[in-house]
Structure 1
Amino acid sequence: MPANTSLADTSPADTSPADLYRHSLRLLLDKNIPAWVDLWAEDGILEFPFAPQGWPGRLEGKEAIAAYMRRYPDHIDLHDIPDLRIHQTTESDVIVVEMRAVGRLVETEGPFDMTYIAVVTVRDGLISSYRDYWNPLAVQEPGVDFTASGTR
């Protein structure tokens, strides 16, 4: 059964997929990208099924994910995750996440308000697969180019 969840009181010691995911969001809000990357398996895969042409659709390996996310805070100043629902699947290592993230686009000072659905697989306490179903049209504003920076 889906449950509303909070980011409060998460810690790296929590190893359930839901707890690990909540902890990962706390790290993104804290702009601690190195610690966020540390939550990934060495052979982790990050996929963007709706990525527009010229944007990465699949990143393979922790190193590629780290390079992609390195400058994330330079482009998106994430302020809050006001809506978060984590659904457990019949596979104990897979969760489906519905969430909304808000903040601002650093370059334009414009608002950032994105709704996501993600399918996340955790193996041995680390993220091994993350399919991020986000809407790239929501951030395609004139003068904003996330492709050159390595992040969306």
Structure 2
Amino acid sequence: MTTPTQPADLYRHGLQLLLDKNIPAWADLWDDDGVLEFPFAPDGWPKRLEGKAAVSDYMRHYPDHIDLHDFPDLKIHQTGDPETIVVEMRGVGRLVRSGDPYEMGYVAVVTVTNGFITHYRDYWNPLGLPRNGAADFARRDR
């Protein structure tokens, strides 16, 4: 299967890779110099990851902490820039360590250039995480 190159299609493909727990393939959607930002990250949490390697390292243990089942309510909005989309969605699943339900709302601004993610601002609320496995994942010093 050919990887989609249009921002909305690439984003949807990336969500399926996350559901499949295929983090290496998800990381391959990133440009070598891609940037992932967390504008609402509290002190001690990463606020900015620079480069595909840093993003890949950050995400590699994600399935060990959060078992995602679905991304309902996905809305992808086009912007005046054909390379940039705004995404609204919820991620639902369970926390691996405790088995507790996981549900988080997300808003992201994503730029895709030449078929790769070059910039991703993730406006999720880390303070909404339970004080267990998911918070441990997000808080780790990277």
State whether structure 2 residue 83 is matched by structure 1 residue 85.
no
- More deviation, 102-111/17-26: 102-111
Structure 1: which 5+ residue stretches go unaligned?
Answer: 1-10
Tell me the amino acid that sits aligned with residue 136 of structure 2: D
Q: What CA distance in whole angstroms lies between the structure 2 residues aligned with 1:44 and 1:110?
A: 33
Kindly indicate which of the two structures has a greater share of residues assigned to helix.
2
Question: Offset of 1:46 from its aligned partner?
Answer: 0.3
> How many residues are aligned here?
140
State whether structure 2 residue 140 is matched by structure 1 residue 148.
yes
Question: Which residues in structure 2 correspond to 1:3-42 (within 5 Å)?
Answer: 12-42=2-32
The DSSP-based 3-state class of the residue aligned with 2:128 is: helix
Tell me the amino acid that sits aligned with residue 78 of structure 2: Q
Question: Offset of 1:141 from its aligned partner?
Answer: 1.7
Q: What value does the CA root-mean-square deviation take over the aligned residues?
A: 1.5
Query: 4+ residue runs of structure 1 moved beyond 4 angstroms?
Result: none
Compute the TM-score of the two structures, normalised by the length of structure 1. 0.87
Compute the TM-score of the two structures, normalised by the length of structure 2. 0.93
Percent identity between matched residues is 65
- What corresponds to 2:51 in structure 1? 61
Q: Note closer, same or farther for the CA distance 1:59–1:72 as it changes in structure 2 (3 Å cut).
A: same
- What corresponds to 1:128 in structure 2? 118
Q: What CA distance in whole angstroms lies between the structure 2 residues aligned with 1:40 and 1:140?
A: 29
Structure 2: which 5+ residue stretches go unaligned?
Answer: none
Q: What CA distance in whole angstroms lies between the structure 1 residues aligned with 2:80 and 2:130?
A: 36
Q: What CA distance in whole angstroms lies between the structure 2 residues aligned with 1:20 and 1:134?
A: 20
State whether structure 2 residue 88 is matched by structure 1 residue 98.
yes
